[in-house]
Amino acid sequence: MKQTIIYLVRHGQTEWNLEKRMQGHKNSPLTNLGITQANGLYNKLFEETIDVIYSSESKRACDTAEIIKGNRIIPIIVNKELREINMGDWEGMKQSDIISKYPEIWNHFWNDPLLYTPTGLGESYQKLQDRVIPEVKNIINSNQGKTIIIVTHRITLKVIMAHFNNQEIQNIWDTADIEPASLCKICIENGISKILLFGDTSHYK
């Protein structure tokens, strides 16, 4: 059976990334650097035969997907299940203000995901996993033997990569971080997945 290749991309740098604000389901535009980072991905993947691009419905992800696509005839399928973790009351807040107001929850978010309890209508790591992993499996099952790009977000990508790494949620921050517009690559053959790239930024100029 032909290999299924999945490229997993985090969106490029945004204005709120620069301002150290939490985004979640809210959005802020790509910066000039974020656009440059996405163009680096366009160049890196230009020689690849891409069958389909899936993108989170957040505009920063859709914009990154459009840049990677360029003028090639590749369908972009927008999928709300690929959105970032819902951060509840934290969305739009500066990290420094969150640390002042919610120091223990902030610590759990980064260091003990199983103890993290979201504020407001936010999602736990488990809820994110329950939302996104079945969707990724659906995408793979619908595109057997194809080459797929999935454009999504930092925490969502950490959860997806933990799944492919057979890693428990509480340990997802033990592996390298996922930088803006970084690239992961999974190869699936005969039902066995292999991680070929994790958080690669070699296309940064």
Ligand-binding annotation for 173, yes or no, is no
Q: What is the H or E stretch that residue 163 is in?
A: helix 154-164
- 182 by DSSP, 3-state: which? coil
Ligand-binding annotation for 152, yes or no, is no
Cross-strand partners of 183: 9, 200
| Radius of gyration from C-alpha coordinates of the chain | 16
| Chain centre distance of CA 201 | 14
How many Å apart are CA 114 and CA 106, to the nearest integer?
13
Ligand-binding annotation for 79, yes or no, is no
Ligand-binding annotation for 11, yes or no, is yes
Ligand-binding annotation for 175, yes or no, is no
Ligand-binding annotation for 10, yes or no, is yes
Is residue 84 flagged as an active site residue? yes
Ligand-binding annotation for 143, yes or no, is no
Ligand-binding annotation for 156, yes or no, is no
Do 83 and 20 touch, CB atoms closer than 8 A?
A: no
* Active-site position among 11, 25, 153, 163: 11
Of 169, 154, 27, nearest to 108 by C-alpha is 169
**What does the chain come to in residues?**
205
Is residue 66 flagged as an active site residue? no
Ligand-binding annotation for 40, yes or no, is no
* Active-site position among 84, 123, 153, 163: 84
Which residues are designated catalytic? Answer: 11, 84
Binding residues: 10-17, 60
Binding residues for substrate: 10-17, 60
